[in-house]
Amino acid sequence: MVSYVLAQRWIDELSLVLGGLLARLVIFGIAILPGFMNAFLVLGLLLDRRPRRVVITPFPGITVLVAAYNEQDSILSTLASLDKQDYPAPLEVLVINDGSTDATGALLAGVNYPWLRVIDLAQNGGKANALNEGLKLASHSLTITLDGDSYLYRDALRHLVGRFLSDPPNTAAVAGCVLLRNSRYNLVTKIQEWDYFHGIAAIKRLQSLFQGTLVAQGAFSLYRTDVLRELGGWPESVGEDIVLTWAILDQGHRVGYCEDAISFTNAPTTFRQFIRQRQRWSRGLIEAFKMHGRLLFRWRMSTIFIWWNLLFPYMDLVYTLFFIPGMVLALFGIYWVAGPMTLLVLPLACVVNYLMFFIQSRMFKAQGLKVRRNPVGFIVYSLFYGVVLQPGCVAGYLSELLNLRKHWGTK
């Protein structure tokens, strides 16, 4: 409300160009709502204290599902990371070779881990289908999904299961912490390193504080096997992990987050692949609303984040259609949307990013990890990330709303 009052002069001047209603929609979409969300995020992170873990004796057996399609460059190291976990209970790993056309099948045939079972599918049927084939054979009460190009950091399985068993009894899933494995490959991955390290991790931490992480990502998450089977497994959709997570929330269950169960995964290495990935994620959000939009009206703390997700398409659209052109106009001295005063958001952005960096660095230090220097990636991430990301998200929203052909693309 204070921001709205302070923005009156801005709104009045923009109204002369766009009209009163459109001016308000623009200012709310690019300034007031994002500002509120950032303030909420900062306060939430300052209040957050990770729940204590209980002493677990004994640990339960777990099933790990690895859907692999053309993963010849990484599947052996993924299995090696599982072998190094030293999980103190029965471990079953089901690798579903989803009709790979490279050497993935031959490599899997050449390994001999006692806990490994390979399921060869004749043709590629998609990630959801592969995971569901594995789910049919899962023999333990807890199922963990792991991407075929991921590498588990030490004690990741122990931490993830420990978090689940320490959380409230209505918890049905726990998302692990996914960071970049190829973060030094090029500028594209260097930028994404900060998104995973800062943005995604901070949002999941905040959502778990309010008892409802909205995405238990397929790259590394834990689920109750009985809940998965009750829901029919992963749905055939572009965003199978978000749709499944919302189905779990729709059943009244809780979804948690474990910040110190770390898996390193490969991110897209070109802007084209990156945009395709975020378009897929955006389509997944619309799919989730189509199937589980009634979550907007559930009386629980996490509902506020469902409403936030409903606002994202609007904010991304306003950013794309008005703020980006406004920045271009500002370069020519036309300050309708952006101008010299826009630079005042930079100190605030620095405060928000420092807080996220401080919290994540503290977790890294506790795990024996060190944050590597990446100043160029951080600068580009802070100043220009949205210019590429948000138009791509808008394209994803529109693709799903218009029921265009689905392309799974990159994960």
CB 267 within 8 A of CB 410: no
Q: What is the pLDDT of residues 340-351, one digit of tens each?
A: 777 777 777 888
User: Does 409 score more than 60 pLDDT?
Assistant: no
Q: Which residues of 153-183 are buried (b: 16+ CB within 10 A; e: fewer)?
A: bebbbbbbbbbbbbbeeebbbbbbbbbbbbb
User: Does 407 score more than 70 pLDDT?
Assistant: no
Element (H, E) at 329: helix 324-331
CATH class of 62-269: alpha beta
Q: What is the pLDDT of residues 172-188, one digit of tens each?
A: 999 999 999 998 899 99
CB 231 within 8 A of CB 247: yes
Q: Kindly state the DSSP code that residue 343 receives in the 8-state scheme.
A: G
User: Measured on CA atoms in the order 110, 112, 116, 118, is the torsion positive or negative?
Assistant: positive
Query: What is the pLDDT confidence band of residue 3, given thresholds at 50, 70 and 90?
Result: confident
- What is the reported pLDDT for 2? 85
Angle at CA of residue 183, ends 214 and 176, nearest 5°: 30
Angle at CA of residue 177, ends 179 and 125, nearest 5°: 80
Token pair belonging to 270 = 């070109």
From residue 307, alpha-carbon distances to 213, 252, 304, 320 in Å are 14, 17, 5, 21
Answer whether the bond into residue 168 is a cis peptide, omega within 30°.
no
Q: How many residues can be counted in the chain?
A: 411
Q: What is the pLDDT of residues 219-261, one digit of tens each?
A: 999 999 999 999 999 999 989 999 999 999 999 999 999 999 9
- What is the reported pLDDT for 330? 87
323 vs 29: CA distance, rounded Å: 9
* Residues contacting residue 258 through CB under 8 Å, at least 6 positions apart: 159, 160, 162, 163, 164, 174, 175, 176, 177
Q: What is the pLDDT of residues 40-95, one digit of tens each?
A: 999 998 988 888 888 888 999 999 999 999 999 999 999 999 999 989 999 999 99
From residue 157, alpha-carbon distances to 173, 348, 403 in Å are 14, 37, 38
pTM, to two decimals: 0.92
How is the chain split into domains, by residue range? 2-47+301-401, 62-269
- What is the reported pLDDT for 6? 84
CA-wise closest residue to 292 among 219, 242, 335: 242
Q: For the chain, how long is the longest CA-to-CA vector?
A: 72
Query: What is the pLDDT confidence band of residue 373, given thresholds at 50, 70 and 90?
Result: confident
What percentage of residues in the chain have a pLDDT greater than 90? 63
